[in-house]
Amino acid sequence: MENKIKRRYLEDAQIRSIDEENRTVEFVASDNTVDSYGTVLPSDKWDLKRYEKNGIISYQHQVYGGCGKADPDDVLGHGQAFVEDNKLIVKATFEPADINKKADKIFKKIQFGSVKGVSVGFQPTKPGHWGDKEKGEDPDVYYFEGQELIEVAVVNIPANPNAVKRSIAEERQELEASRSTEENDTPEDPKVDDNPTPEINEREILTKANAAISLAQIN
């Protein structure tokens, strides 16, 4: 799989606690369940060293400054990450209103309950594997073998269902390519096709996408 930042949105976000005085919120950012991408991020295989050095809480992952649109207020505060009870917990401390009005607004929206989604940005550190039935795993699920936490973002409910479907399709193609490599498959000779179509199970992708959208809308 490509060595790039990947993201996982937790539709069923859990807020463990809110401390109004200290402006902190504890989120369950990830666990061992199968996500809407058909993958698992094992809680015991998180590498948190990089995040410990510069743990930021961003808004909508808008912290990379692409196209000259960098906004320092998209960094809402700092975070601490740790694993507890097979869950990745992130304790977010939001900046005060006098230095970041956006952070203050997001913190108040979390208190109100209108914003509660979180997403982890990570990089795989080892090749993963497809589920092994003999180990009680689902063969249609991709299990990561190690991942480095890069950032944690507070996110809104996805507004564009097509964007969700597209990202799932791209992930599925990457995972299928990984499965092919692991099994040492020899690709067939390419056929001439003016409109090539990725070899993916479209029905399965749409089913997972719709399920993710439904969960997001419910929450």
Using DSSP bridges, classify how beta strands 39-40 and 14-19 pair: parallel, antiparallel or unpaired: unpaired
Q: Give CA–CA dist 176/167, Å, rounded.
A: 14
- Gyration radius (Cα) of the chain, Å: 19
pLDDT digits (tens, 9 = 90+) for 205-217: 444 444 444 434 4
Residue 13 has pLDDT above 90, yes or no: no
Q: Give CA–CA dist 18/23, Å, rounded.
A: 8
Residue 124 has pLDDT above 60, yes or no: yes
Neighbouring residues of 52: CB distance < 8 A, sequence distance ≥ 6: 80, 81
**Mean predicted confidence (pLDDT) in 60-66:** 73
- Residue tagged 């995040």 (tokens): 51
Residue 178 has pLDDT above 90, yes or no: no
pTM over 0.85? The answer is no
pLDDT digits (tens, 9 = 90+) for 76-102: 999 999 999 999 999 999 999 999 999
Most confident among 65-69, 144-148, 156-160, 178-182 (mean pLDDT) = 144-148
Neighbouring residues of 144: CB distance < 8 A, sequence distance ≥ 6: 39, 40, 41, 42, 45, 124, 126, 128
173 SS3 class: helix
| Confidence band of 56 (pLDDT split at 50, 70, 90) | very high
